[in-house]
């Protein structure tokens, strides 16, 4: 990997759940970035009209062009600080995954409290005047978790960098190393938590027999069928539809989203006409599921932030294998 500040090759972390592609193309094969224009980010919605607050997905080349023109985008990389220090887009900010979760067992992936959310918003300088670009190094799980958090904070016009660091590097675009850029002191901000993107266990328990509700389980098949145990009880929520998050990404194309993601969801029985609640083990992998549904324009998509770490450890929740 060619870095602007070093000839060494930084290490990009690999998720324990994902086998990643080999390092990307040489910088000699970098695409030409035109300074006088850019292609609008694609919106992979299937129905309805677009509003200014709609999220979008953008390619590495499109993002590079917009940054080169000086557009004031807040680029946020959701990785460990170690990964960020080794390789990041120049000028981007780092949010560590632990900042997005409560960390309280057994359901460690639940939303942090309002004080921590306000602290994160203040540190990043979130405001109505700047769009946030979210990315990670694993194909969209943590980037999607940030997107969901932004929705909870009412910041719904985020942009997803398709494929994240891997796609950026594969496109021959430069990554730099070192600490985050100096920033203004954290601001005291007042936040309002929008609960509409959040699902609780009771929201599912009350509607287990409701045909208008689709529970999307994006864990592995082994977890879904109970072969892999990660809680007091193993298996899945009765009636849940299984679609592994890994099926949404192209591991031979820099972890970009698959071309016909809408068709894949439709074939699995996940559509915009229903209430959809996505979950995994800790609402990490389901960050990608939630984000994809938002990009497709699903009007009633939520994420169960307690996920299986909560459901599988409660004594009163039904389980199928």
Catalytic residues, by residue number, are 280
- The string over 27-66, giving b where at least 16 C-beta atoms fall within 10 Å of a residue's C-beta and e elsewhere, is beeeeebeeeebeebeebbbeeeeeeebbbbbbbbbbbbb
Contacts 24+ apart (CB under 8 A), 264-269: 265/292, 265/293, 265/296, 268/241, 268/242, 268/243, 269/214, 269/241
Contact 152, 111 (CB under 8 A): yes
- Nearest residue to 8 via CA among 238, 176, 249: 176
The pair of three-digit structure tokens given for residue 171, joined into one six-digit string: 């496109």
Question: What secondary structure letter does DSSP report for 236?
Answer: B
Q: Which residue has the tokens 């979950």?
A: 279
Rg, C-alpha atoms of the chain:
19
**Calpha distance 223→230 (Å, rounded):** 8
**Calpha distance 197→277 (Å, rounded):** 9
How would you list the strands of the sheet with 275-279, edge to edge? 198-199, 301-304, 275-279, 213-217, 241-242
- Nearest residue to 25 via CA among 55, 51, 61, 58: 61
């Amino acid at each position: 990997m060619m870095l602007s500040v070093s000839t060494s090759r930084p290490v990009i972390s690999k998720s324990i759940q994902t086998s990643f592609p080999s390092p990307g193309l040489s910088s000699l094969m970098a695409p030409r970035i035109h300074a006088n224009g850019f292609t609008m980010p694609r919106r992979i919605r299937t129905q309805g009209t677009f509003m200014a607050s709609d999220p979008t997905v953008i390619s590495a080349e499109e993002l590079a062009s917009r940054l080169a023109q000086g557009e004031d985008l807040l680029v946020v990389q959701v990785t460990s600080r170690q990964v960020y220090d080794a390789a990041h887009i120049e000028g981007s900010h780092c949010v560590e995954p632990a900042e997005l979760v409560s960390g309280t067992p057994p359901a460690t992936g639940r939303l942090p409290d309002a004080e921590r959310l306000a602290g994160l918003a203040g540190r990043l300088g979130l405001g109505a005047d700047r769009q946030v670009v979210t990315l990670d190094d694993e194909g969209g799980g943590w980037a999607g978790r940030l997107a969901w958090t932004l929705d909870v904070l009412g910041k719904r016009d985020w942009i997803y960098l398709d494929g994240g660091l891997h796609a950026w590097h594969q496109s021959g675009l430069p990554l730099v190393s070192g600490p985050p850029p100096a920033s203004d002191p954290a601001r005291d901000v007042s936040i309002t938590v929008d609960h509409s993107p959040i699902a609780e266990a009771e929201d599912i328990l009350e509607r287990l027999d409701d045909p208008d509700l689709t529970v999307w389980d994006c864990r592995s098949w082994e977890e879904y069928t109970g072969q892999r145990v990660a809680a007091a009880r193993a298996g899945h929520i009765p009636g849940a539809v299984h679609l592994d998050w890994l099926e949404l990404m192209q591991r031979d194309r820099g972890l970009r989203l698959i071309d016909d993601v809408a068709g894949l969801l439709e074939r699995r029985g996940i559509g915009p006409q229903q209430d959809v609640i996505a979950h995994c083990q800790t609402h990490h992998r389901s960050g990608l599921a939630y984000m994809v549904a938002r990009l497709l324009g699903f009007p009633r998509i939520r994420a169960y932030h307690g996920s299986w770490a909560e459901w599988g450890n409660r004594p009163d929740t039904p389980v199928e294998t």
